[in-house]
Amino acid sequence: MTVDLPTVWFVAIAVLWTGYFVLEGFDFGVGMLLPVLGRGRDADRRVVINAIGPVWDGNEVWLITAVGAMFAAFPAWYAATLSGFYLPVLLIIVALIGRGVAFEYRGKVDDPRWRARWDAAIVFGSAVPAFAWGLVFANIVRGVELGPDGVVRSGLLDLLHPYALVGGLATLALFVLHGAVFLALKTDGPVRRRARTAARATAPVAAAALFAFLMWTQADHGSGTTAVLAAGAVGALLIGTAMVARRREGWAFVATAVAVAATTAVLFVALFPAVLPSLLDPAFDLTVANAASRPYTLTILSWIGVVFLPLVVLYQSWSYWVFRRRVTREHVS
């Protein structure tokens, strides 16, 4: 039996991006909620930061792996995407670097103004990627002005299409809700109570933005499969909101994670078999077939993935298990 390796690697990359958005999504949400849930006392802000402290950098491994897989398995897709979306990707990289530095340097000086500046970097470094990733992937699904030479001719204003902006707002709101639910699950005391309140307040906005984005996607790029996935995403989001109201944070977090995963799946299913559609001429589309590496390269990559990917998943699962306890003021005092 012949295995269609390009399709296998398209699915693998979709799974890697899904893992990244599910895990880093709550990181972004926590960062954006820092001034809201940590107001009044620095101890509460430290509780918020410590809730993701042991795992945030591990979550970014999924991004590195996803981008690396794109580079190795679909070099034409990688080249066109990173060059065509140069400014949004650059902003994401700068934001992620600033956020990482802020986590490390915030507590180095015992000065409220020093901490406030780094807190602002955390908020900025979380909000920019949360919005920009939605913008980028919405544009990937919608298509860009891609020529026969594989060069993207779309400018920044072209990328700010209303559909892409709605996509960015949807991921921004969804990640805020995901982060609020995570903090309700991971913390206790005042931060936990504020996180529940934030989740209830954010849920209607996230549900409306996600519904609008998925319905637009379904109307322009959808199929029967994407319709099922979109319904599952919105339904999971509503279930998560109900679970927060009933103080079932564990199930609420599972539900928001499912919503993020289903939304990502909608985008990749809507995209397939293209990897980057052309708005100029469908003949210029980059597809799973014409953008893939040679079969020998994909075969080697497959063996590497079979060996090392389970090890990464096991290690990260172990780290989540080790740091599973709730964080409270007593842990940071």
Average pLDDT over residues 232-256: 91
Count CA within 13 A, CB hemisphere, residue 71: 8
Instruction: Read off the pLDDT band of 267 (50, 70, 90).
Output: very high
| pLDDT given at position 331 | 61
pLDDT tens digits, one per residue of 285-308: 999 999 999 989 999 989 988 888
Between the CA of residue 253 and those of 26, 208, 239, 309, what are the distances in Å?
9, 19, 10, 24
Question: What are the beta bridge partners of residue 144?
Answer: 278
More confident residue, 252 or 327: 252
Instruction: Say which amino acid occupies 23.
Output: L
Closest CA to 185 of 60, 35, 30: 30
How many percent of the chain have pLDDT more than 70? 98
Give the separation between CA 240 and CA 7, rounded to whole angstroms.
32
**pLDDT recorded at residue 286:** 93
| Average pLDDT taken over every residue of the chain | 91
Q: Which pLDDT value is given to residue 56?
A: 85
β-bridge partners, 327: 187
Beta carbons within 8 Å of 132's beta carbon, 6+ residues apart: 88, 89, 91, 92, 95, 168
Query: How far is 298 from 205, CA to CA, in rounded Å?
Result: 42
Position 23 scores a pLDDT of 93
What residues pair up with 265 in beta bridges, in sequence order?
none
Close Cβ partners of 147 (under 8 Å, ≥ 6 residues apart):
153, 278, 280, 284
Whole-model pTM? 0.93
The larger pLDDT score, comparing residue 266 to residue 58, is at 266
**H helix intervals, the chain:** 5-37, 42-52, 56-59, 61-73, 75-84, 86-105, 112-142, 156-159, 162-186, 190-221, 224-245, 249-271, 295-322, 329-332
Q: How far apart are the first and last CA of the chain?
A: 61
Per-residue model confidence as pLDDT tens digits over 182-234: 999 999 888 899 999 999 999 999 999 999 999 999 999 989 999 999 999 99
pLDDT tens digits, one per residue of 76-109:
999 998 888 989 999 999 999 999 999 988 888 8
The two tokens of residue 215 are: 């319905």
